[in-house]
Chain A
Amino acid sequence: MELDNIEKLLEKYFEATSTVAEEQTLQAYFSQEKVATHLEQYRPMFNYFSSAKEERYTKQVPLKPRRNYYKWLSVAAVVVLTFGIYYEYQQQREAERVYQQTKEAFALLAENFGKGTEKVAYLQEFEVAKQKIYNND
């Protein structure tokens, strides 16, 4: 009676036309102590499937830190970038100011040099006069 049923189910099982419920019946049958001898060979198969279901994933998954880490990393990057750009800008303005000052200072210097050379031009007069004196001798 039952054996007949099991054999039919097995046939359906190997043609992959059995339902989940029918397959559970088979698993239950093969988990019993006594199984018909000619079906004994199928026992490892069904027992294995039942036991394979027991395996568990036990490792802990670190969910939180990784996510926060990335979020704050981007915030930090933006802060550093803004500060960097601002600093660079300040540097440039400082450099321009110093450049202007130096230019003014050089202009002043050049002007005074000009005055100096004008005065030096008179020295030429002495040379001319001296030559005249030598030539008269």
Chain B
Amino acid sequence: MKQAEFLNVVMPFKDKLYRLAKRLLVSKEEAEDATQEILLKLWSKNESMGEYKNVEAFAMTMTKNFCLDRLKSKQASNLKLVHSNYQDENTSLQNQLEAEDSVRWMERIMEELPEQQKMVLQLRDVEQYEFEEICELMDMKPTAVRVTLSRARKAVRQELIKKHSYGIG
């Protein structure tokens, strides 16, 4: 496969890879590095790429696994993520300031979710994948996907309602 062909295959979903990486790793730089790593891995495999029937799903799964490994090694080496550091330090002030900014608020809520829920929510509500695709990507049963997704959405709702009532009261 030539470089141009490869780019044609990869272009349509490279943003999705990046957004999934960013959802998991939070930091922009880390997500960019991860995406680059994945694209290079795909490129090095490009001889056999014709064999995969769905390159996008394959790449998404790669990204998921890569990011989870990253997170695991980070926890193992006892390095805290940058964002959780700042959350710990000045929660109350940050809360008040960000109450204005609903996008950042939502981002914070998403960060708090368990990884599984984060990923399913990202895949469904942001990328709008069908259930079958999510099952394949996450290696989960359809019912498990449904339950996880429902829990994630309800958890977000919970947080929003909390915030909403604070806003009024």
Contact = CB atoms under 8 A, between A and B. Distances in A.
Interface in A5-27: 13-17, 20, 23-24
Interface string A27-69: 0000000000000111111011101110111010101101100
Contacts of B161: 41
B15 A48 contact: no
Contacts of B17: 57
Contacts of B43: 61, 63, 67
Contacts, number: 79
A61 B36 contact: yes
B150 A44 contact: no
Interface residues of A, number: 29
A16 B164 contact: no
A57 B14 contact: yes
Interface stretch (B51-59, B74-82, B152-160): B152-160
Nearest to A52: B126
Chain A interface SS verdict (over half): helix
Contacts of A63: 3, 6-7, 39-40, 43
Interface of B: 3, 6-7, 14-15, 17-19, 22, 32, 35-36, 39-40, 43-44, 102-103, 105-107, 122, 124-128, 130, 145-147, 149-150, 153-154, 156-157, 160-161, 164
Interface of A: 13-17, 20, 23-24, 40-45, 47-49, 51-53, 55-57, 59, 61, 63-64, 66-67
Given A57-B14, A66-B40, A67-B43, 20 more contacts: A14-B153, A16-B146, A16-B149, A23-B124, A41-B161, A43-B102, A44-B103, A44-B105, A45-B106, A45-B157, A47-B102, A48-B102, A52-B19, A53-B19, A55-B15, A57-B17, A57-B35, A63-B40, A64-B3, A67-B44
